[in-house]
Every structure is written in structure tokens, then in C-alpha cells.
Amino acid sequence: MRDLARILVLWRGRAAGLLLGAVAFLASLGLALLLLGASGGRIADTLAGVGVVGIAVAGLRWVGLARVVMRYLERLTTHNATFRALADLRVWFFRGLAVRAAGGLGFRRAGDMLSRLVNDVEALDGLYLRIILPLAGACLAVPVLLYAIPAGSAVARSHGLIWTVGGLCAIAAFVLPWLAARGALANGARLARANAGLRVAALDAITGLREVRAYGAEERVAGIVAAREGELFAAQEAVVRRGALVSAGCFICTQAIFILLLAGAVPAAPAEGIAALFLAVGVFEALGGLPRAGVLAGEAAAAARRVLAAAEGPVAYPEPVAQSAACLGSALRFEQISFRWQPDRALVLDGLSMDIPEGARVAVLGPSGCGKSTLAALALRVAAPDQGRVLLGGADIAGLGSTEVRRTISFLSQATHLFDDSIRNNLLLGLPGASDAQLWAALDQAAIGDVVRGLPEQLDAWVGEGGARFSGGQGRRLALARALLSSAPILLLDEPCAGLDAQTERAFLATLNEVAPGRTVILIAHRLTGVERLDRIWRMSGGRAVAATG
């Protein structure tokens, strides 16, 4: 359970709230046991025709009222602490993923990452409420029950009643849940994989719906989704079946305890025995959720493992321990760079050297797969070269922090994403805190300002998912405006016209000629359209860059 322990360490910032919730839970349970024991003792005394011993009727009323209030406070504090802890966990997960996937998800599936962020984090919802607190409750309730068994009864002692009840309680409270957790750990991993597989298949089917319809592949795709759904149902069935067996075992143990108390404790000492019977009811309630807690513990451990693997995996380019140099300009130089994305894959770049002077406007051309986008990843410090070095402003990029690099380079990619939010909030990603005047200036530079002014909400107009409320060319200009808001001296554009028609592409590149004066502009493209204003052209071939004149 090391993975679960790691999650608890991540929640240390909420320790006060979690501890307060646990105290409220135990206090509520203690009051419930006190109320049940005192009520049983009063009933026994009444049946025996003797005076009331222990808590009087007025005292029982106050205990009952206190239990109701404490129960409300327990629910309030425990759920508040859980929600805040889970919110912290989601933020931590996203930050970890952002560091490890700054250059994109790479070989990981978006559906799988979404499953880890949603399903696996939700599986940890029960770690505190349904696992830790029930176990703490069992540690309080079981000793109380054993203490309440008529200790002064020679008959009860001679029959080993306390030891027998204690053993059954230990089996129900600890042994069976532990077995359930061990079994659920393997099933939980299978369940998590099946859940992720279904999400991946469904997401692929939805995002590729146009192609699915075009090729008449609806039945095949639906069959894949149905198969993944069947795998998920099978995994869920295995988890439920094991949980049902453990619950049955726990139920048998609790009923055996009740029969033993009824047959051994009540005849030996009626008043104390009846009180113990009433206490047993409260203890059974505390033990009843433990089999489920064991199953949830196994599932939560599997979920924690997947969450930690995504958020604490290896970083492609770790931050330097101490920044060794300062970036002193916008010149970019690649020196004898060799690079491959995976150890078992071919070299993408092989001894590449390229010098881009400060303030130059250059193009890097070549077919798909030749390494153009790899150059962008190396320049942005989201990938590290196997050999060679990248110099930014005269400093080795390996000694620069990511924040410094991204203050120097503003990036516009072929897959630039517009969020389902307002135009204003999409632009503010480029320069948080920018004034309206700065936003309008960037929109005008990108030749999209008049379009935005024509909208009823203007800067507060909704962009739509992926920029759906705008055409492809307009969406790309909004992305360009966002990149221009940055004061970075280098503007790096990786296939900025991908997916645009020829006329829109030419218009976009013509706009690009007029923006970013004085900045270093690096245009990565398959080909030139003839409207670009460039100082130098590099062509990629065989993992190297060759200077060209046109």
C-alpha cells in the first residue's frame, strides 16, 4: 500500500481538516455506542424491576441530542476535508502531467490520461471516508464491545466468550477486509485498464465520427466500443463477486457474535449481557462497511499507482539544479544535434547544426517526419538532445530553466488549441493581466480585430470548443494574436497554416510579414507559398539542415 501512503503524504496540507473530521467521526461513534449501551442497561434494569443504574432518562436525551449534532458536524467536516484534498490532488496531478507532457502526450493516449484524471482520482474519493474512518471506527468499537461483556461472570470467562467474540471481531474487522483488498488490487488494476480502454475507444469514435460515417464503419467502431464495454463489465463483475463473498463472511461473523452474546452473556449476567447486545448492534454497523472498505482499498491502490505513474514519471528534460547562465539575446544555435524519440527508434536528427541570428526571419522546410517539429521541441526545452547542445542567447539551454526559455520563445503550433471560453480568456494565456488595449492591439496585428469588433460580445464572445465558432483561418489568427501578446523576442511557428486552404494560407502568411518587427521569426513548414519575407531558408534532409537560397 505504498502508493496509498504516498497519496496521504500529498494530502498533508489538509491534515488539520482530515484530523478534525476523524475526531468528529470517532466522537459520533462513541456517543452512539454510549447511547446504545446505556439504553440496553436501562431496559435490562426495567425488566429486572430494579432502580435505574447509570445514565438517567434526561441524560439519555442529552446523549442522543449530542450524537445528532456530532453526526452532522462529522459529515460536514469529513466531506469538506475530502473534497478539498481531492481538489488539491487534481491540481497536483495536472501540474505533474504538464511538466512531463509539455511537448504533448507523445505515445500516451488522451483517453487514458483522461481516465486517470477522472476515474482514478475519483476512486481515491473513498480512501478517507470509506477506508480510513471505518478502520478507525472498528479500532474504537471492538474494544468497547469486549469491555462491555460481563467480565465479572465466571460462566462467561469459563467459556472463553471474550476471546471468541474478540477473534470473530478481528476476522470481520481486519482479516476479511485485508483479503478483500489483496484480491481487489489485481482486479482493481484490471478494472482501471478496462475503464481507460472504454474511454479511449469512445473518445476515438466521437472525435473520428466524420471519417467513421464517410467509410461506413459505424458497425465496426460500435463493435469495438461494445467489446471494451464488455471487458469493463467483466472486471466490475469480478470485483463485485469478491466483495459479496467477503460481505457474506463478515455477516456470518457478526451474527455469530450476536448468538454467542445471547447464549453466553445474557444468561450469565442479564443486565450487562443485554447492554452488550445493544452495543453489538452499534459495533455491527461499524463493521458492516469494512468488507466494502477492503475492496475499495484494493481499487484505490490500483488507481493511486496509475495516478502516480502519470504525475511522477520521468521528466524528459529535468530542470537544472541551479541556473548556470542567463539568456542574453534571441540568437538560436543548434550544434551537432543527434536525437531520437525512443531508444528503439531511428535517429530523427543526426549531427544537425544550424545558426539562426538574432532578429532573422528564417524558414525550415521539409516533408513530414524529417525532424522539423523535433527542432521546435528541442528549442522549447521539452526534449533533450542525445548529443550536441542548443544555445539560446549564447547560453546552453540545458542550464536554463523552462520559465526563462519560454519567456524568450513564443510558440504557435499546427495544433494550437483554443479553449471553450471567451476570446479574452484565450488571449490572456499569452500575457496574463494584459489590458484591453493590449488585447485589441494584438488582435489588430493578427488582422482579426475587425471581426471581433463585429461580434455583440466582442472580447467576451465565446470561442466554442476548439474554436468552433470561428473558421479555421480566424481561429489561427486568434492563436497568432495570443502568441504576439508575449514579449518573447523569438516567434516560433510550427506549421501554422496546417489545414487551411491555399488562399487563407497566403493571407495568413502575408499578415505574418507585417507583425513581430525586430523579433526573430522561425517558420517551420512543408513548403513556401511565395509571399513570405525571409532572410534564410533551411531544408531538412537525412536528419540534417542544409542552407538554401530559395
CB atoms within 10 A of CB 167: 14
- 335 contacts 353 by C-beta, under 8 angstroms: yes
Task: List, in order, residues 6 or more apart from 28 with CB less than 8 Å away.
Answer: 67, 70, 71, 73, 74
* Cα→Cα distances 456→278, 445, 459, 462, Å: 69, 21, 9, 11
pLDDT computed for residue 531 by the predictor: 63
Task: List, in order, residues 6 or more apart from 123 with CB less than 8 Å away.
Answer: 188, 192, 296, 299, 300, 302, 303
- 14 contacts 56 by C-beta, under 8 angstroms: no
In the predicted structure, residue 210 carries a pLDDT above the cut 70: yes
Q: Give the Cα separation of 4 and 279 in Å (integer).
A: 32
pLDDT computed for residue 408 by the predictor: 83
In the predicted structure, residue 158 carries a pLDDT above the cut 50: no
Q: What is the mean pLDDT of residues 98-112?
A: 57
Architecture of the domain whose range is 332-548: 3-Layer(aba) Sandwich (3.40)
Instruction: Report domain extents, the chain.
Output: 2-311, 332-548
Q: What is the mean pLDDT of residues 89-107?
A: 68
- Cα-trace Rg, the chain: 33
Lowest-confidence range among 78-82, 103-107, 427-431? 103-107
pLDDT computed for residue 47 by the predictor: 63
Q: What is the mean pLDDT of residues 262-274?
A: 67
Question: What average pLDDT does the chain have?
Answer: 77
- The band of 314, judged by pLDDT with boundaries at 50, 70 and 90, is low
In the predicted structure, residue 123 carries a pLDDT above the cut 60: yes
φ/ψ of 389, rounded to 5, equals -150, 160
Grid cell 452474546 — which residue? 261
In the predicted structure, residue 252 carries a pLDDT above the cut 70: yes
> In this predicted model, what pLDDT tens digit does every residue of 487-499 receive, in sequence order?
788 888 887 776 6
Q: Give the Cα separation of 512 and 255 in Å (integer).
A: 79
Out of 1.20.1560.10, 3.20.20.80, 3.40.1110.10, 3.30.930.10, select the CATH number for domain 2-311: 1.20.1560.10
Distance, first Cα to last Cα, the chain: 62
pLDDT computed for residue 295 by the predictor: 77
DSSP 127: I
Q: Give the Cα separation of 407 and 108 in Å (integer).
A: 28
Longest dimension (CA), the chain: 111
Answer with the residue of higher pLDDT: 294 or 264. Answer: 294
Lowest-confidence range among 161-170, 278-287, 472-481? 278-287
In the predicted structure, residue 106 carries a pLDDT above the cut 60: no
Q: What is the mean pLDDT of residues 162-188?
A: 78
Across 137-151, 256-270, 274-288, 443-457, the highest mean pLDDT is recorded for 443-457
Query: Left if phi > 0, otherwise alpha if psi is -120 to 50, otherwise beta: which for 388?
Result: left
Angle at 279 between CA 277 and CA 285, to 5 degrees: 110
> In this predicted model, what pLDDT tens digit does every residue of 22-72 receive, in sequence order?
888 888 888 887 777 777 767 766 666 555 444 556 667 777 788 888 888
Instruction: Count CA atoms within 13 Å of residue 120 on its CB side.
Output: 32
- Residues, the chain: 550
